[in-house]
Amino acid sequence: MNRVTDLTSTILFFFICLFLYTKFAGPVPFSVNSIQTTKNTLFSATGQGSATAVPDTADISFGITKQAPTVADAQNSANSVVNQIVRDLTNLGIQQKDIKTTNYSVSPNYLVGQTVNGYTVQEQVELKVKPIEKANQVVDIATKDGANLVGGVNFVLDDATQKNLEQQARIDAVKQAKDKAESLANAAGIRLGRIVDVQESGNPQPIRFQAQAAPSADNTKTELNPGENTVTVSVTLSYETL
């Protein structure tokens, strides 16, 4: 019984002393040592992948320039040509939603000084042609109906095909980067750890065709060659070294 009493007294005395110490001297110091290590040395390798496909859409622009003594006459002349082109393109199967005016301007023509000698109306039209096989016919129709400038023919891919090509090129680029990293590391006697960073840069390369066309006296047909579109992606992988 005396032993229990003595133990109880000792414990009570300890807590009384601890209370008095923390009250007058502050909390009991307590610390945890934390060790943080970082590896700043990284090993990087770059790979480049590409994928190609035949374009399925043509973006074509054409222009009409008309001059006349009055603004109204110049506008009517330009509008007549544009309307005829649109009608013939619609009959070819080009949808109205794929034909749009991108520029329309009216400007005076001057002789000497400020003397006005008529007016010029310029109109620029862009259209999307799909299937791409109709591109040649579109140019022929536009020039036959009175367009005096055809240019900026651009062969492109639809969004789904473009994304598919980018993914193929990305997979190829990552594989090449990994192969290069392993080869270089083995040659240099470096042990690679995990990949800690990935950087990508892409470079879609559309095929472009610039042309000026005018109605031909011998009815020569337009011949446009779309070729292939190439999508290129570069990937840089950064590894920890062990």
84 has pLDDT over 60: yes
Residue type, 118: G
Q: How confident is the model at residue 179 (pLDDT cuts 50, 70, 90)?
A: very high
Query: For the residues 185-214, what does the mean pLDDT come to?
Result: 73
Rounded to two decimals, what is the model's pTM? 0.62
Alpha carbons 174 and 42: distance in angstroms, whole number: 17
Averaged confidence pLDDT in the chain: 82
Question: 192, 181 in Cβ contact below 8 A?
Answer: yes
For 123-176, the pLDDT digits (tens) are 999 999 988 889 999 999 999 999 988 877 888 888 888 899 999 999 999 999
Residue 192 has pLDDT above 80, yes or no: yes
**Amino acid 222: pLDDT:** 79
Query: Domains along the chain?
Result: 41-56+157-215+225-242 (3.30.110.170), 58-156 (3.30.70.2970)
Q: So what's the pLDDT on residue 131? A: 87
Q: What are phi and psi of 188, to 5 degrees?
A: -95, -5
DSSP-assigned beta bridge partners for residue 237? 45, 198
Whether residue 77 has pLDDT greater than 60: yes
Q: Are 62 and 146 in contact (CB under 8 A)?
A: no
CB 81 within 8 A of CB 66: yes
Using a pLDDT cut of 90, give the percent of the chain over it: 56
CA 65 to each of CA 55, 134, 164, 191: distance values in angstroms, whole numbers, following the listed order: 31, 25, 41, 68
Tens digits of residue pLDDT in 43-55: 999 999 999 998 9
From residue 80, give the alpha-carbon distance in Å to each of 86, 95, 206.
Answer: 10, 19, 34
Report the alpha-carbon distance of residue 188 to residue 104 in Å, rounded.
64
Do the beta carbons of residue 191 and residue 185 sit within 8 Å?
Answer: yes
Q: Which run of H or of E encompasses 13?
A: helix 2-25
